[in-house]
Amino acid sequence: MKAILRKETSDFPMMDVSADHTQYIYHRVVDTLLRENVRNCVSQAVLMSGTALSARCDRHVEKEDQWLRISHLGNGYLWIPVTQSTFMQDWRSVGLPLLWQEGDKVEALHTLEALIVCFAHGLHSVAERAFRAFVDECRLAAEHRQVCETEREHWFTEYRALQGEVTGSELANWHTRLIHFDRLGAFLDHPFYPTARAKIGFDIRSLTAYSPEFQSNFLIHWLAVPRACFYPSASNAQNLPALWPSFETVGLPAELANTYDLIPVHPFVWEYELENLLSAAGMRDVIRAPWPYLTATPTLSVRTVVLLDMPEWHLKLPLTIRTLGAKNIRTIKPSTIHDGHRIQTLLASIAARELSIADRLVLTQEDCGGHVDHQLFLGYILRRYPVENLRNSTLVPVASLLAKTPAGCTVIEEMAAQFYDGDLEAFWNDYLDLTLRYHLLLWLRYGIALESNQQNSIVVLSQAHPRLRLLLKDNDAARIHSDYLAMRWPDLAEYADSLHDRRIIVSDALPLGQMFITITLQLNIAVLVEGIGPILGLPVNTLYANVRRRIETVLEALAADGEEISLARQLLLENERLHIKYLLIAATLTDKSETGANDVNKFYGMSSPNFLRVK
């Protein structure tokens, strides 16, 4: 279905954005262009000293400065001031603006638009339009960041006035604490996608109403669809929550229950997009329920909301917005409903036979949901948190651990203070050991790698439980080496055989390594290393050496159990380069026909310096 995006209305013209927010996005974009080697801006550049510029430039340039001079993006030279890096890329930008030289004339590129014009030079029309559209995404990211940062200041002031010194882990119950940490994490940028602040399709009113930074409450709307068009999951009827509405609850005649089913609709889609979606799908026999029902608030993932009257239930609803790239529209594929449940069940079966992780893994129940005639915007998934295992626990998404708290520290420091007597290193090592042990075990013993990113991996802490646990959810995009699984564990192979999205199935071990590196290692471990190093006052190289030692320990234990570890050792510890996701290229700037990737979130290069390799 062709995506439908609402444009900014006349009620919300382009706002004046402060230079701080604009420059912040500019700097992130430049670093991403360098990291992903967009248009060969690094591989075809020449490294120059400041002396090469000082004679031509009216700004002060030190002779020891380092610049990348790029000569293939037009009739001149693009100069980018850089410093060497070892984390995810060889070079990072060290200052703005960038410079453009034609002949002896040098001018500053003060805007992102001017820079993107350089990068779009000489492209065919479709590719050029993608680059120019990215300029709008950058503007929107700066706008949304400004609005959200203002809201954070307001919330922190209000929180300190109402809660005093009460920390997030001391709030009333597990779900209140989870919502709190979700909101904190929403203010923290995605580590690698430069314009993650942009929720493309939301104007400012919608941003404040439906985004996790504001965490406003709203009511869910309901659509009655002919039963012949509705495909519920197998367990839907018996597993729907007790407060799920009847037809009378939402203002419809009870007799409709004989021939219709109710599906929830996000209020944003209900207000702005539903008529267009139904018309495009040729659906005329649906009935809008007159009354909304069930109060919800957004989580970190935006399209998943907490049902506040029964907070152990989270409801995932499609949204006609894009996040983390122009191609990442937030639909729900019908296959997702089935596959997420199958993979969670597979993980539970594995945990039952692996005593070392059985009591440290928590899984959500994801067997409820449904979709309408394969429509990407008419469907839902119900996710149940196992409240019986969580009542006295504090749940923190990995995406929130480096977020600032109202008290001025980071969430990870707050967790260490509350649960590890202030010993941040002890907390970190506990988290690191469990994360590595579990994901390396899945990869090397079972042929499975999870896309358990920072949102979908949740740290579970409790005074009553002696050790940290991990909660995993939303695992519908794993990679499974099905032949290996069938050979080693034939009783588990049926789970892979029945998956609908065949992109999950891979024919060799390399995709498992790529997913482990780009999700578990880089997002869930290395990003934290970079953040906690300054907090602990330790060089990051010291922390990476610790990561390496712990990987070696896990690999040696698996090898002693008869597992083949040579590929893992090579990819993680021996290669000079690590695989990396090219998110901006695949999700925004380049068509799939050019990248060859069947998933825009799984387009890999191998350009990251290996921060685990012994030099």
- Pick one of 3.30.1300, 1.10.10, 3.30.310, 3.40.50 as the CATH number of 17-126: 3.30.310
Which of 90-111 are b and which e, b meaning 16 or more Cβ less than 10 Å from the residue's Cβ? bbbbeebbbbbbeeeebeebee
Query: With contact defined as beta carbons under 8 Å apart, do 186 and 147 qualify?
Result: no
Question: What is the assigned CATH class of domain 392-609?
Answer: mainly alpha
Within 10 angstroms of residue 298's Cβ, the number of other Cβ atoms is 25
Query: With contact defined as beta carbons under 8 Å apart, do 70 and 115 qualify?
Result: no
In the chain, list all ranges with CATH 3.30.310.
17-126
Distance CA 457, CA 180 (A): 16
Backbone angles phi, psi at 345, to 5 degrees: -65, -40
Residue positions counted in the chain? 615
In the chain, list all ranges with CATH 1.10.510.40.
392-609
pLDDT value of position 14: 57
213-249 pLDDT per residue, tens: 999 999 999 999 999 999 998 777 678 999 999 999 9
pLDDT value of position 2: 30
Handedness of CA 349, 352, 353, 354 (dihedral sign): positive
pLDDT value of position 96: 87
* Strand-pair category, 577-581 with 394-397: unpaired
pLDDT value of position 10: 32
Q: Half-sphere exposure (CA, 13 Å, Cβ side) for 249?
A: 16
* Strand-pair category, 469-472 with 361-363: parallel
Residues of the chain with pLDDT under 70: 1-14, 54-56, 58-60, 63, 237
Backbone angles phi, psi at 108, to 5 degrees: -85, 140
Distance CA 607, CA 378 (A): 40
Distance CA 591, CA 425 (A): 44
Handedness of CA 356, 361, 365, 367 (dihedral sign): negative
pLDDT value of position 119: 96
